[in-house]
Amino acid sequence: MNNVIEISDLTKRFGSGENEALIFDGADLTIEEGSFVSLTGASGSGKSTLLYLIGGLDRDFTGDIRIGGKSITGMTDRELSDIRSFKLSYVFQFYNLVANLTVEENILLPIELSGRKTKDHMGKVNELLELTGLTAKRNHYPSQLSGGQQQRCS
């Protein structure tokens, strides 16, 4: 299997002096293609920080983070945005749905924002709606969905 995420010798600190907190100290992690990964731990243990680092949202670290074999160090904002759009998927704790868009429109939003034509992706949208059990809710707004339905939509 291919390694889709490789982290080596990752060190991350917050603050300075006596207020410095060492979050990661030489951490290593490899995630293989097809893996499902869940981050668990106490509040403040670095779960969100790790996700920000992997996505290139936080660049203040030492070590190496590779996505698909390419180091994110030195990547441009555009390259990092493309990785977040096409290589990584996050399931957020909060749903991040746009309240005035329907389920279908929320699913299509990232496609529109990337400049692609939504009509070319309707087959995939229908497949996702079927997989998540949301076909009958495609024209509903987030406020009309249960928490679980909102989570599946996001």
* 66: Cα within 13 Å, side-chain hemisphere: 15
Q: Cβ–Cβ contacts within 10 Å for residue 106, how many?
A: 19
Has residue 92 got a pLDDT over 70? no
CA distance between the termini of the chain? 28
Q: What is the CATH number of domain 3-75?
A: 3.40.50.300
Q: What contacts 88, CB < 8 A, 6 or more positions away?
A: 54, 55, 67
Q: What's the whole-model pTM score? A: 0.67
In this structure, of 28-32, 87-91, 97-101, 121-125, the range with the lowest mean pLDDT score is 87-91
Relative orientation angle of helices 122-132 and 103-113, to the nearest 10 degrees: 140
CA angle 136, 109, 91 (to 5 degrees): 75
Domain boundaries, the chain: 3-75, 103-153
Share of the chain above pLDDT 70, in %: 97
Query: Position of tokens 């010798």?
Result: 9
The 10s digit of each residue's pLDDT in 12-65 is 998 888 888 999 999 999 999 988 888 888 878 899 899 999 999 899 999 999
